[in-house]
Amino acid sequence: MTGAPIRVLIADDQMMVREGFSVLLNAMPDIEVVGEAVNGREAVRQVRELAPDVVLMDIRMPELNGIEATREIVAADDSATKVLVLTTFDLDEYVYQALRAGASGFLLKDASARQLADGVRVVASGEALLAPSVTRRLITEFSRLADRPRLGTPAQAHGQYGELTERETEVLVLIAQGLSNAEIAARLVVAESTIKTHVSRVLVKLGLRDRTQAAVFAYEARLVTPG
């Protein structure tokens, strides 16, 4: 292992879940569980105190649910902590709300030790956690179901992404369609390093944290139509 281990906070009101995930993750040489929280309020407090790289966040918790806790963590000006949502069902109605609140992806609670560790590593690196097909299915389903305000008319929406170049807008659309950097590079016939640069610029210009947030933005701006 090179470099410092990935610091993880586990937030779940079920003791068996916290202890099980803690044992699995601490067995990995590049991951360290630095804390556990039994509710959302405690998770927010521990993020401030411990500054973990990743929070494994259950959605349904007492005092403050995982969605609101995620929103508070992401909103903090000095927070670089990424949130990985834990759920029992892959189409949990609250997962999409958590992604909109700033979560970087989601993971099923019955994930294997390898899937759990890989999910933590991917989220910590800022890359897309979900397989493209799953990302596309998730965002498509919940963009239909979620009761939320849209970004307004196409002209109003354009004002929020108007600073993007034509190529950057094209890359944003392909991200929302679930393509990886390599797949986007092949589609546009450019080097993968060029696509990484475009993705970084898209995130900076739109003030987004990662590819998951970029995909959600593209759907809400109606750059991509669900279905």
- Confidence class for position 109, pLDDT limits 50, 70, 90: confident
Q: Please compute, for residue 96, the number of CA atoms within 13 A of its CA located in the half-sphere on the CB side.
A: 23
Residues 6+ apart with CB under 8 A from 179: 132, 187
User: For residue 16, with 0-12 CB atoms within 10 Å meaning exposed, 13-18 middle and 19 or more buried, which class applies?
Assistant: exposed
**Rounded to whole angstroms, how far apart are CA atoms 191 and 223?**
24
Average pLDDT over residues 133-144: 59
Q: Is the CB of residue 49 less than 8 Å from the CB of residue 81?
A: no
Number of Cβ within a 10 Å radius of residue 182: 10
pLDDT at 63: 86
Helix (H) or strand (E) holding 87: strand 82-87
pLDDT tens figures, 3-48: 789 999 999 999 998 999 999 999 999 999 999 999 999 999 999 9
**Rounded to whole angstroms, how far apart are CA atoms 99 and 71?**
10
pLDDT tens figures, 40-93: 999 999 999 999 999 999 988 888 999 999 999 988 867 789 999 887 766 556
Task: Note the helical H segments in the chain.
Answer: 15-26, 40-50, 66-75, 95-101, 113-125, 132-145, 154-161, 166-176, 181-188, 192-206, 211-220
Residues 6+ apart with CB under 8 A from 74: 83, 101, 102, 103, 209
